[in-house]
Amino acid sequence: MKGVLVEKDDSGIRAELRELDEQQLPEGNVTIRVHWSSFNYKDVLAITGKMPVIRSFPMVPGIDLAGVVESSDDERYQVGQEVLVTGYGIGEAHWGGYAELARVPGDWLVPLPEGLTLRQSMAIGTAGFTAMLCVMALERGGVTPEQGPVLVTGAGGGVGSVAIGLLSKLGYEVAAVSGRPEAEDYLKELGAREVLPRSDFSEPGKPLGKERWAGAVDVVGSHTLANICASTQYDGVVTACGLAGGMEFPATVAPFILRGVTLVGIDSVQCKQPRRSEAWQRLVEDLDLAKLETMTNEIQLDDVIKTAKNWGQSDHRGRVVVSVQ
Ligand code: NDP
C-alpha cells in the first residue's frame, strides 16, 4: 500500500511518500480502504515538524479519513460499509489517513451520515466538524441570531470558512476576521456580512471594550482571543478551538466577572460519541453542500508533502481534500 511516512532521526523529521507494508498497520479491529482524507493545520505541523504533534514514529499522518470497510471483527461494521474517522489521535499517535489502508478500533468509527458522499465528509473533515462543535456550543450557551453578530476569526481557513457557512445558514449575522483583504469577496459569498482586518484584534488591548459580539468562533488564540472576550456582549459566549496566532492567552478576568461572558473550550479529538454523532447529523442538515464545494480544493496523495511545506505561503482558502485511491 502507498502512504506518507514521517520518520525521525538525529537530523530531524523527514516525510516521504513510499510503499508501506500492510503488516505494519497498527492494532485495531476494523481495516478501512481509505478513499479520502483531508488537510488540516495539524497535518502541516506533523509533516514539517514545526510542533511536536507526532507522538510515536514512524507515523502515517492525516488526522481524518473516509473510506470503505475492508475487513472487520466489530459486529457493528460490515465489509463494504462507508465510514469516517476524525481525531482519537490518528495521524499523531496511531497511523492516519495519508495511506491507502488504515486500521482503527471500531469505537472510533462514525458511519458515513446519510446525505453525504465520502468526499463531502472529508471536505468537511476535522476542521468542519470542529466548526460545528463551536456552533453547537454557542447554541448551548443560548446565543440566538436576534442577539447580535457572531465573530469568526481565521475566516479564510478551514474551520473559519465552514463556521461562516453554518452560522449564516442558521440566520446569524457573521463578522469575519481575516489577514487577507483579497479574501473579502470569498468570505462574503460564504455568508459573512462584514470582513474585519486581523490587525484589529492581534495587538494587546484593553481589559474591556465596547460590547459588540453575541458570540464568537476563535481559531487564533493569544491577543486575538483576549480582545474578543473583552468586546463580547453581556452573557455572550466565546468558543476557543485554535492557536493559529499563538498558544498563550494574555487576558484579564474582567469580561467573565463583569459581563458574565462564557469562554468554551472546543476539542474535536476526544469528543464523546453522542456529541460526535449529533454534530455530523447537524452538518448534514445545516451546511449548504454547494457552498462546501466552493470552499473545497482537491489534491492527490502525492501532493501532500509539498502542500504541507508551502502551507503558510500559499493562498489556500477553505478546505483541502486529499484523494487517496
Ligand atoms: P487553516 O490553516 O485552514 O486556517 C487557519 C487560518 O487562521 C488561516 O487561514 C488564517 O486565516 C488565520 N491565521 C493564520 N495564521 C495566523 C496568525 N498568525 N494570526 C492570526 N490568524 C492567522 O487551519 P484550520 O482552520 O484547519 O485550523 C485553525 C486552528 O484551529 C488551528 O490552530 C488548528 O490547530 C485548530 N483546530 C483545533 C481543533 C480542535 O479540536 N480544537 C480541530 C481543528 C483545528 P486568514 O488568512 O483569513 O486570516
**Substitution site in 50, 122, 159, 186 for ligand 1 pocket (most atoms within 8 Å of beta carbon):** 159
Q: Three-class SS of residue 250? A: coil
| pLDDT for the residue numbered 214 | 98
Q: How far is the CA of 248 from the centre of ligand 1 (A)?
A: 15
Confidence (pTM):
0.97
| pLDDT for the residue numbered 313 | 74
Q: CA 210, CA 248: separation in Å to the nearest integer? A: 23
Q: Which residues of the chain have pLDDT under 50?
A: none
| pLDDT for the residue numbered 315 | 78
- Helix segments in 106-199, DSSP class H: 118-140, 158-169, 184-190
| pLDDT for the residue numbered 129 | 98
Q: How far is the CA of 242 from the centre of ligand 1 (A)?
A: 6
End-to-end CA distance of the chain: 10
Residue 204 class from Cβ within 10 Å (0-12 exposed, 13-18 middle, 19+ buried)?
exposed
Q: How far is the CA of 157 from the centre of ligand 1 (A)?
A: 6
| pLDDT for the residue numbered 316 | 82
Q: CA 149, CA 106: separation in Å to the nearest integer? A: 40
**Substitution site in 220, 268, 297, 316 for ligand 1 pocket (most atoms within 8 Å of beta carbon):** 220
Residue nearest atom 17 of ligand 1, based on CA coordinates: 245
| pLDDT for the residue numbered 311 | 87
Sorted by where each begins, the domain ranges of the chain are: 2-112+295-323, 125-265
* ipTM, 2 dp: 0.99
**H or E stretch at 222:** helix 222-230
CATH T-level assignment (fold) for domain 125-265: Rossmann fold (3.40.50)
Q: How far is CA 230 from CA 26, 216, 257, in A?
A: 46, 12, 11
Q: Which grid cell is 112? A: 458515513
CATH T-level assignment (fold) for domain 2-112+295-323: Quinone Oxidoreductase; Chain A, domain 1 (3.90.180)
Report yes or no: 163 and 189 within 8 Å, Cβ to Cβ. Answer: no
